[in-house]
Chains A and B, each alone.
Chain A
Amino acid sequence: MNLATAIRARKLEDLPGKRDEAWRWTDLRGLIRTAPEPSTALDTAGLPAGPFDPLAEETLVIANGVGGGRISVAAGETRVVALRIVSRGAGAHAGGVTVSVAAGGRLTLLESYDGEGSYLAHAALAIDCGGAIERIVLAADDAEGVSVSQAEVVLQPGARFAQTLLTGGGRRQRLETAVRHPGGHAELRLDGVYLLDGKRHADLTTVVTHTGFDGATDQLTKGVVRDQARGVFQGKIVVKAGADRTDARMGHHALILSDRAEVDAKPELEIYADDVSCAHGNTVGALDQEALFYARQRGIPEADARAMLTEAFVGQVVDRIEHEGARELARAWVAGRLAP
C-alpha cells in the first residue's frame, strides 16, 4: 500500500486503517469518508516566512504537494537547509523530496510542517545518508488537518543520522521514520517530542532495521497530552541475524495531564543476532505530585510549577539537539506550548 498513490488516485479503500496492524491507532480509512478534491496550487510568494528561515542558508518549499526536488551534499560540504512543507485548504496532496549526503558531507535539515485547513497531506522523504545529517522537524499542522510524513533513511557504514521530531499533532497526524542501519559503526539517534492538547492526535512511528554488526541506535521520545488528545508511539528495532554487537536503546516517556487524554505505546525489540546490547524503557504517568508539592512549598504557584516540571521533562530531549539555533527555537516552542 502506498499512501501517496492512494491520495493521488483518490482511492479511499487504499488508505491505511484499523485493520492494518501498523496503523491500528491511526485510522485514516475510518476517518476520511469522502475522497477530498486534489488541492489547488498555492502561490508561494504570498507565504509568510517559515520558522527555520533565519537559521538556514536556503529554503526549499513544498506547497500543497508541489515543489521539493533534491538536496545533495557532496563530500567536504556543510549545509544548513530549511525544508518547508506547507498545506492550505481542504484538498488532498502528496509531495516529497530526495536527500543525499555523501561521505564527508554534513547537512542540517530544518524541516517544518505548516498547515491551515482540513487537508489530507502526505510527504515522502527518501534520505541517503553517507555523511552526517541532523534532521529537526517542527510539525505545526492544523487541528483539522490530516497529515502523514514518511521518511525512509538509508544509512551507510560510518555515517551518522540524528533526528528530533517536535510536534503539536493534528486532527490525525503521523510522523514515520524507517531506517536501514548497516552497522559498521554508523550512529543513529531518533528523538521526538509531542505536546498535544484539544482533540489533537500525533503518531510517532519508527522502524530501525540493523542489518550489520557494530551499529548503534539511541532513541528518546517524550510526550505530554492533555484535554482529549491522543499520543501514539510505535518504536520497533529489528536486529537481523549477523548484526552482532548492536547497541540499541529506546526510551518513551509520556505525561498524561487529564483523564480523557490517551497515550498508546508499543516499543518492540526483535533480536536475531548475538552479543547484542538492547534496552527499552516505557513509562506513561501523571506529573510527580511530590515534586509538584516541593516546588510549591518553595513558593512557585501551581500552574507555574506544573509548567516548569513539564518543560523540564521534555527539555531532556530538546537538550540533545545539536544545532544551537534549532535547539533554542525548540526550547521556545516547548515553553510556548506549555505556558500556563
Chain B
Amino acid sequence: MLSVSDLRATVDGNQILQGVTLDVPAGQVHAIMGPNGAGKSTLSYVLTGRSGYEVTGGTASLDGEDLLALAPDERAAKGVFLSFQYPLEIPGVPALTFIRTALNAQRRARGEAEMGAPEFLKLARLKAAELKIDFDMLKRSLNVGFSGGEKKRMEILQMAMLSPRFLILDETDSGLDIDALKIVSEGVNALRGPDRAMLVITHYQRLLDYIKPDRVHVLAGGRIVASGGPELALELEREGYDKYARAA
C-alpha cells in the first residue's frame, strides 16, 4: 500500500526529514511515536503535499503510484486522508457543505457519479449519530468556535464520510476526553479492512489500546530509528525516548 523510501524534506530551508523509510502494507495499522519536533507532522504534510514542504530526496508511493507527483487534491481522490493535528477553521462554509463538496469532488476525480443531497444527508446523519456529534453542529461553519475535542471528532466524521483508503491520524487522540477517545477509536476501527491501511501518529500508548497497531515505529531526528511490535509502545511509555534521541 504505502511505500516510503529514504524520504528527505526541508521546511524553510531546514532539513526536517532525514531519510524516512517505511512500508505500510494493505490491511495494516502502523503507529508512529516520537519526541516533539521529531518530524511526525512534517511526514504527514509531505505525504499529503502541503506547499512549503520541499522534498529533497527519496520516494513515496501508494499502490505503486508516485504520490509526490500528485497535487494534494489528487492524492485525496486516490484515498489519502489526513486527520490534522490542528484542524483548520473554515469561516462561512457549513461543515455539511464542505464535506459534500469534498466528497463529490473526489467522486468526480475518480470518474464516479456524484452523491445527491438526500443520500448525502442520510449518510451524514448516520455517521454523526455514530460519532455522537449533534447534527445541528454540521450546519455551522466548519470548526469555527468548536472545542479542540469537537474539531477532532469532526475530522473523524469527515473521514467516515469520505471513506479513504490510506488514513493518517496526526495526534487525533490529543484533546479528546475518555469517552470521545473510545467513540473516535471505534470510528477509526470501522474503517479497518483488507484494502485499507493507516498511519497513526500519537504520543500516548493509551490510543493503541483502542486502535491496535501491527507495527510501531519511533521517529526521532527526522528518521525512523526503531521499529517493533505493539510492545514497543509499552516500552516507550516506560522508558521514554532518551536512548532513541541519542541514537538520532
Contact = CB atoms under 8 A, between A and B. Distances in A.
Interface of A: 288-291, 293-302, 304-305, 308-309, 311-313, 315-316
Interface string B72-87: 1101110001101001
A312 B93 contact: yes
B101 A308 contact: yes
Contacts of B88: 288, 290-291, 294
Contacts of B106: 299
Nearest to A312: B92
B94 to A, nearest CB: 9
B72 A309 contact: no
B43 to A, nearest CB: 14
Contact of B90 (A302, A312, A316): A312
A297 B82 contact: yes
B146 interface: no
A299 B105 contact: yes
B14 interface: no
A294 B71 CA distance: 13
Give chain A's interface secondary structure class. Answer: helix
B37 interface: no
Nearest to A318: B92
Nearest to A288: B88
B70 to A, nearest CB: 11
B71 A296 contact: yes
A11 to B, nearest CB: 46
A293 B53 CA distance: 12
Contacts of B102: 295, 298-300
Contact of A295 (B81, B90, B91, B103): B90
Interface in B93-111: 93, 98-99, 101-103, 105-106, 109
Contacts of A301: 71, 73, 105, 109
What 7 pairs across the A-B complex have the smallest Cβ distances? A312-B92, A299-B76, A298-B102, A299-B106, A296-B72, A294-B88, A296-B73
A296 B50 CA distance: 9
Contacts of A308: 93, 98, 101
B88 to A, nearest CB: 4
Considering residues B49, B50, B106, which has the most beta carbons from chain A within 10 angstroms of its beta carbon?
Answer: B50
Contact of B84 (A288, A294, A296): A294
B48 interface: yes
Contact of A297 (B48, B103, B141): B48
A298 B93 contact: no
Contacts of B48: 297
A311 B162 CA distance: 23
Nearest to B82: A297
Contacts of B77: 299
Nearest to A298: B102
Say which size band chain B's interface belongs to.
Answer: 20 to 34
Nearest to B141: A312
A293 B50 contact: yes
Given A290-B88, A308-B98, 11 more contacts: A288-B88, A291-B89, A294-B88, A297-B72, A297-B75, A297-B76, A299-B73, A299-B77, A299-B102, A299-B109, A300-B101
Contacts of B18: none
Contacts of B72: 293, 296-297
B205 interface: no
A174 B75 CA distance: 45
Contacts of A304: 101, 105
A291 B87 CA distance: 9
Given A304-B101, A304-B105, A298 B90 contact: no
Contacts of A312: 90-93, 141
Contacts of A300: 73, 101-102, 105
A313 B90 CA distance: 9
26 contacts: A289-B51, A291-B90, A294-B84, A294-B88, A294-B90, A295-B98, A296-B71, A297-B73, A297-B75, A297-B81, A297-B82, A298-B73, A298-B105, A298-B162, A299-B76, A299-B106, A300-B105, A301-B71, A301-B73, A301-B109, A302-B71, A304-B101, A304-B105, A308-B101, A312-B91, A316-B92
Contacts of B71: 296, 301-302
Given A295-B102, A309-B93, A315-B92, A302 B87 contact: no
Contacts of A290: 88
A166 to B, nearest CB: 16
Nearest to B93: A312
Interface string B134-176: 0000000100000000000000001000100000000000000
Contacts of B89: 291
Interface in B59-73: 71-73
Considering residues B48, B73, B89, B102, which has the most beta carbons from chain A within 10 angstroms of its beta carbon?
Answer: B73
Nearest to B161: A298
B93 A302 contact: no
